[in-house]
């Protein structure tokens, strides 16, 4: 009994550290937005305004699967601490930036570390908790992600108004060190019988190809897009000849894991592709304020959080198929009605975006938790990070696709953008139908609780000092 209580307490300390690290990585996507006008006033480089955001997200996205696979090979604790060090190094360099070019480079380092924090955090949750517990914890972490998106601009504004924009980055350091201490002192990796090796060339090809592809979709660069495709094709060809590949194809071909990947890819195209242009629609097309545009976007985050939490509670009993189908249907309904009522009042559009976010939250959580349940322990990191990558990769493709659909109206704004914008929720709804078709093919019934749950908790010998 005493041992069980100690195990629960130890996992609570680990979870606290994971939540703290996740919050830091997640809030960096929004907190910097409020500080950027002051950064530009101090460092100059107005034409580079978007790059600190873009390259942070780019590196966080493409590095995730590499971090995830490395954690399978070398241990979760080691890779969590390594990614934390990289993230905090990037934070310190960002705060010390003396030019926009330096800040962009520092944000790339920070994004590289964030990719590891996100990948290893969700992998550790998959490793430490049984299905029923994990569903609840994953829902809670989705709530942390949603809250970070809402409070980030407020926190950034308070820091900039009362101190300096540099503290937006410096404040990560003490909290990040606390997260490292909590995880590092309470979790120990399992011993490994063989000395592993990471396929470095495969990792470079994958990151290069995916990075070029995502960046090309953002700037509509055909040459970069072609280069990215060539690199990804080369990655696939090279992987086929390896006995220990970066991405184990047999695992990805598993019916549930493969569908989880495709479902997240298509849903990410719909959800993030649409979300990219919602603020622009609120301001440039409807003539609203930045606050009104934020009111439009916030329900998507809130809906995601609520949908994830409810999906987490129901998953052990309802199974992945029913929840994924319900989530996809919610997205179809929300996007479909928004296509019809694109000129409706602000609160109506906000309610419809809440429905789409709710559906996305249900779909996403059901797929990732169920895929973790079907993953071998030694491949849990790559499976978890690949599904996260699929969602973000899909978002980049969706944003590029919908930007192309809007065409010249993006520049013209006003009535031209207003008249053309119905295409965005329409295409998002069609993509959500693709997610529905993927979900229909999932296994029926509930997932067997604890079928791949972790055996004994790996506790660091110094954990009793906490």
Return the domain boundaries, the chain: 1-190, 199-245, 248-452
Residue 294's pLDDT is what? Answer: 66
Residue 455's pLDDT is what? Answer: 40
- Rounded CA-CA distance 178/189 in Å is 19
Q: List, for residues 122-174, the tens digit of each pLDDT value.
A: 999 888 887 778 878 887 887 787 778 777 777 888 888 888 889 999 999 99
Q: How many CB atoms lie within 10 A of CB 173?
A: 16
Residue 397's pLDDT is what? Answer: 87
Q: Which residue has the tokens 């090809």?
A: 205
DSSP 379: G
With 60 as the cut, is the pLDDT of residue 250 above it? yes
The radius of gyration computed from the CA coordinates of the chain, to the nearest angstrom, equals 21
Burial of residue 169, with CB atoms counted within 10 A of its CB: 0-12 exposed, 13-18 middle, 19 or more buried = buried
pTM of the model: 0.84
**Buried/exposed code over 277-289 (b: 16+ C-beta within 10 A; e: otherwise):** bbbbbbbbbbebe
Residue 449's pLDDT is what? Answer: 42
Q: Crossing angle for the helix pair 2-43 and 131-162, nearest 10 degrees?
A: 30
Indicate the SS3 state at residue 28: helix
Q: How many CB atoms lie within 10 A of CB 103?
A: 25
Tokens of 337: 């009605």
Mean pLDDT across 443-454 = 52
Nearest to 171 by CA among 18, 75, 35: 35
Residue 290's pLDDT is what? Answer: 62
Q: List, for residues 177-211, the tens digit of each pLDDT value.
A: 999 999 988 887 766 656 677 888 888 999 999 99
Q: List, for residues 399-419, the tens digit of each pLDDT value.
A: 888 888 887 777 677 778 778
Mean pLDDT across 388-394 = 91
State which H helix or E strand residue 353 sits in: helix 346-374
Mean pLDDT across 59-77 = 91
Q: How many CB atoms lie within 10 A of CB 95?
A: 19
**Buried/exposed code over 402-425 (b: 16+ C-beta within 10 A; e: otherwise):** bbebbeebbeeeeebbbebbebbb
Indicate the SS3 state at residue 334: helix
Residue 386's pLDDT is what? Answer: 93
Q: List, for residues 317-368, the tens digit of each pLDDT value.
A: 888 889 999 999 999 999 999 998 887 888 888 899 999 999 999 999 999 9
Tokens of 280: 């622009």
Residue 465 CB contacts under 8 Å (≥ 6 apart), including other chains: 185
DSSP 13: H
Residue 330 CB contacts under 8 Å (≥ 6 apart), including other chains: 307, 355, 356, 358, 359, 360, 362
- Rounded CA-CA distance 393/265 in Å is 7
CA distances from 354 to 276, 330, 334, 360 (A): 15, 10, 8, 10
Burial of residue 162, with CB atoms counted within 10 A of its CB: 0-12 exposed, 13-18 middle, 19 or more buried = exposed
Residue 174 CB contacts under 8 Å (≥ 6 apart), including other chains: none
Nearest to 16 by CA among 408, 466, 317: 466
Question: Which CATH fold would you assign to the domain 1-190?
Answer: Growth Hormone; Chain: A; (1.20.1250)
Q: List, for residues 415-433, the tens digit of each pLDDT value.
A: 787 788 888 899 999 999 9
Return the ∠ at Cα 38 (arms to 36 and 43), rounded to 5°: 90
- Rounded CA-CA distance 87/331 in Å is 34
Q: Which CATH number fits domain 248-452: 3.30.70.100, 3.30.70.20, 3.30.70.1560, 1.20.1250.20?
A: 1.20.1250.20
What single string gives the DSSP state of each residue in 221-283? Answer: -HHHHHHHHHHHHHHHHHHHT-SS-SS-HHHHTSHHHHHHHHHHHHHHHHHHHHHHHHHHIII
Residue 343's pLDDT is what? Answer: 79
- How many residues belong to the chain? 466
- Rounded CA-CA distance 189/193 in Å is 12
Residue 2's pLDDT is what? Answer: 46
- Rounded CA-CA distance 165/33 in Å is 11
Q: Which residue has the tokens 């493409």?
A: 62
């Amino acid at each position: 009994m005493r041992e069980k209580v100690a195990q629960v307490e130890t996992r609570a300390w680990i979870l606290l550290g994971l939540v703290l690290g996740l919050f830091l990585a997640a809030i960096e996507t929004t907190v910097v937005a409020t500080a950027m006008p002051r950064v530009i006033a101090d460092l100059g480089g107005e034409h580079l305004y978007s790059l600190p955001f873009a390259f942070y997200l780019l590196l966080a996205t493409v590095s995730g699967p590499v971090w995830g696979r490395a954690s399978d090979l070398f241990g979760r604790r080691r890779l969590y601490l390594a990614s934390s060090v990289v993230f905090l190094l990037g934070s310190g360099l960002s705060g010390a930036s003396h030019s926009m070019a330096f800040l962009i480079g520092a944000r790339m380092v920070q994004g590289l570390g964030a990719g590891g924090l996100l990948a290893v955090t969700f992998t550790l949750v998959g490793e430490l908790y049984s299905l029923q517990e994990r569903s609840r914890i994953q829902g809670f972490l989705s709530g942390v992600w949603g809250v970070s998106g809402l409070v980030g601009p407020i926190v950034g504004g308070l820091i900039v108004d009362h101190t300096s924009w540099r503290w937006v980055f410096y404040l990560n350091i003490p909290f990040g060190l606390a997260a490292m201490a909590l995880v590092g002192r309470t979790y120990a990796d399992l011993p490994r019988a063989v000395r592993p090796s990471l396929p470095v060339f495969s990792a470079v090809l994958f990151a290069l190809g995916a990075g070029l592809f995502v960046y090309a979709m953002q700037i509509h660069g055909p040459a970069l897009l072609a280069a990215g495709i060539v690199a990804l094709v080369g990655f696939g060809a090279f992987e086929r000849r390896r006995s220990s590949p970066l991405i184990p194809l047999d695992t990805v071909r598993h019916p549930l894991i493969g569908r989880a990947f495709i479902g997240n890819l298509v849903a990410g195209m719909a959800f993030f592709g649409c979300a990219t242009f919602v603020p622009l629609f609120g301001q440039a097309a409807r003539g609203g304020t930045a606050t009104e545009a934020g009111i439009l976007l916030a329900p998507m985050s809130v809906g995601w959080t609520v949908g994830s939490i409810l999906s987490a509670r129901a998953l052990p009993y309802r199974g992945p198929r029913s929840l994924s189908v319900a989530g996809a249907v919610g997205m179809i309904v929300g996007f479909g009605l928004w296509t019809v009522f694109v000129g409706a009042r602000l609160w109506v559009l906000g309610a419809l975006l809440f429905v789409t976010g709710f559906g996305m939250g249900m779909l996403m959580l059901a797929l990732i938790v169920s895929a973790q349940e079907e993953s071998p322990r030694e491949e849990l990191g790559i499976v978890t990070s690949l599904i996260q990558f699929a969602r973000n990769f899909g978002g980049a493709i969706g944003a590029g696709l919908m930007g192309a659909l809007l065409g010249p109206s993006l520049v013209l704004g006003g009535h031209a953008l207003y008249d053309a914008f119905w295409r965005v929720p329409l295409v998002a709804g069609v993509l959500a139908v693709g997610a529905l078709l993927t979900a229909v093919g999932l296994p029926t019934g509930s997932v067997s609780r604890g079928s791949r749950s972790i055996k004994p908790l790996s506790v660091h010998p110094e954990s009793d000092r906490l």
